[in-house]
């Protein structure tokens, strides 16, 4: 059940001139959030920007007793709304509606979980990694960025026991090139009787490439899509994604039928990625 909370900013860690982690006091959201779910955030009071922006829930924040007290968002400034969140100060109130959407389903052992993150697409994997660790599922994070300064929270994932495979486009960390290159080698090297489930979030071309690899290697693959979204509740029909369903392909609302989709059902040619 989603709640709308005027959440106080309780921390804003600016990681680089582009990226920040914004912490919000939102116990009602945090208490019910599942991996891969999102919130709709009003980036400023008033009429400009008018609409909320969707953000994956990055971390669940807990107090000393372990009780959920808030959430954090991994934000990359690319437009007006994300710039406002980059500049947010402690004590600012930011309306936050959630948790929303269908979550990831963490796979159980003996299957392994391979998470594939591109840039700000890391966001939904912190909570997924925790859920996987709790199940004892072995996991690998394939994590790609433009350069070494675009990679964050690696220790969080290794601390949960995840293996890390890093790529950068400029070669300043890890392997130079796209994150799908080491992913493809790993898929080719893995025996067919060793189950793997893949989870991807990042730029649309990256997710499409992961979906193609999943199909080629017959591995279940789930993607977290982020089309332009108006309301997050299923009211406006703006965030539709074309997916295959019994009887043909249909536009479905990614806010309530997603944002997580079985990659094999997504009609990628119909998808125009949008991010603000």
Partner 1 sequence: MADLSVKIGSLTLKNPVIAASGCFGYGLEYASAVDISALGGVAVKGLFLNEREGHAPPRIVETPAGMLNAIGLQGIGVHRFVKEKLPELRRLGVTTIVNVCGSTIDEYCEVTRVLSDAEGVGAIELNISCPNIKEGGIQFGCSLTGTYDVVSAVRKVTSLPLVPKLTPNVTDPASFARASEDAGADAISLVNTFLAMAIDVETRKPKLTNVMGGLSGPAIRPIAVRMVWECRQAVKLPIIGMGGIANATDALEFIIAGADAVQVGTANFVYPTLWTEMIDSINNYLDRHGIARVADLVGKMER
Q: Which residues bind partner 1 (CB under 8 A)?
A: 1-4, 42, 47-52, 95, 97, 227-228, 230-231, 233-241, 250-251, 256, 270, 272, 274
| 214, 221 contact by CB (below 8 A) | yes
SS3 of 218-250: CCCEEEECCCCCCCCCCCCCCCEEEEEECCEEE
- In the three-class reduction of DSSP (H, G, I as helix; E, B as strand; rest coil), residue 143 is classed as strand
Task: Give the nearer residue to partner 1 in terms of CB position, either 78 or 148.
Answer: 78
Q: Rank residues 117 and 255 by Cβ distance to partner 1 and give the closer one.
A: 255
Instruction: Give the SS3 label for residue 207.
Output: helix
Q: For residue 65, what are the CA distances in angstroms to 33, 62, 94? A: 18, 8, 25
CB of 238 to partner 1, least distance (A): 4
Q: H or E segment at 6?
A: strand 3-14
Nearest approach in angstroms of CB 102 to partner 1 is: 14
Q: Nearer to partner 1 by C-beta: 50 or 191?
A: 50
Q: Using CA atoms, how far apart are residues 118 and 257, in angstroms rounded to an integer?
A: 23
**Which CB sits closer to partner 1, 49 or 195?**
49
Please report how close the Cβ of residue 145 comes to partner 1 at its closest, in angstroms.
Answer: 25
What span, in angstroms and rounded, lies between the C-alpha atoms of 76 and 21?
9
Residue 67 or residue 237: which is nearer to partner 1 going by CB? 237
Under DSSP, is residue 264 helix (H, G, I), strand (E, B) or coil?
Answer: helix
Q: Using the minimum distance from each CB to partner 1, give the nearer residue, 59 or 92.
A: 92
- In the complex, the smallest distance separating the C-beta of residue 55 from partner 1, rounded to whole angstroms, is 15
In the complex, minimum distance from the CB of residue 43 to partner 1, in angstroms, rounded to a whole number: 11
CB of 20 to partner 1, least distance (A): 22
d(CA 70, CA 140): 27
CB of 257 vs partner 1, minimal distance in Å: 11
C-alpha to C-alpha distance for 177 and 162, rounded to whole angstroms: 21
Residue 45: burial class (beta carbons within 10 Å; 0-12, 13-18, 19+): exposed
The rounded distance, in Å, linking the Cα atoms of 162 and 164 is 6
Decide whether 176 or 245 has the Cβ nearer to partner 1.
245
Q: Across-strand partners of 163?
A: 140
């Amino acid at each position: 059940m989603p709640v709308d909370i005027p959440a106080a900013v309780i921390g804003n860690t600016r990681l680089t001139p582009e990226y920040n982690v914004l912490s919000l006091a939102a116990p009602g959201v945090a208490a019910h959030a599942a991996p891969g779910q999102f919130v709709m955030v009003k980036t400023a009071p008033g009429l400009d920007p008018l609409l909320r922006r969707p953000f994956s829930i990055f971390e669940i924040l807990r107090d000393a007793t372990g009780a959920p007290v808030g959430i954090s968002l991994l934000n990359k400034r690319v437009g007006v709304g994300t710039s406002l969140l980059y500049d947010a100060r402690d004590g600012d109130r930011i309306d936050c509606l959630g948790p929303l959407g269908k979550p990831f389903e963490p796979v159980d052992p003996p299957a392994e979980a391979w998470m594939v993150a591109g840039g700000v697409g890391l966001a939904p994997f912190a909570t997924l990694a925790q859920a996987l660790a709790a199940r004892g599922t072995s996991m690998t994070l394939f994590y790609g960025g433009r350069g070494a300064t675009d990679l964050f929270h690696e220790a969080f994932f290794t601390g949960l026991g995840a293996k890390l495979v890093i790529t950068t486009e400029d070669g300043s960390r890890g392997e130079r090139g796209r994150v799908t290159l080491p992913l493809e080698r790993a898929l080719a090297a893995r025996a067919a009787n060793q189950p793997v489930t893949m989870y991807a979030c990042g730029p649309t071309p990256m997710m499409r490439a992961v979906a193609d690899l999943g199909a080629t290697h017959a591995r279940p693959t789930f993607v977290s899509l982020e089309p332009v979204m108006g309301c997050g509740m299923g009211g406006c029909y703006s965030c539709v994604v074309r997916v295959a369903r019994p009887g043909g392909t249909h536009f479905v609302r990614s806010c309530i039928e997603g944002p997580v989709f079985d990659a094999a059902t997504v009609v990628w040619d119909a998808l125009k990625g949008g991010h603000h």
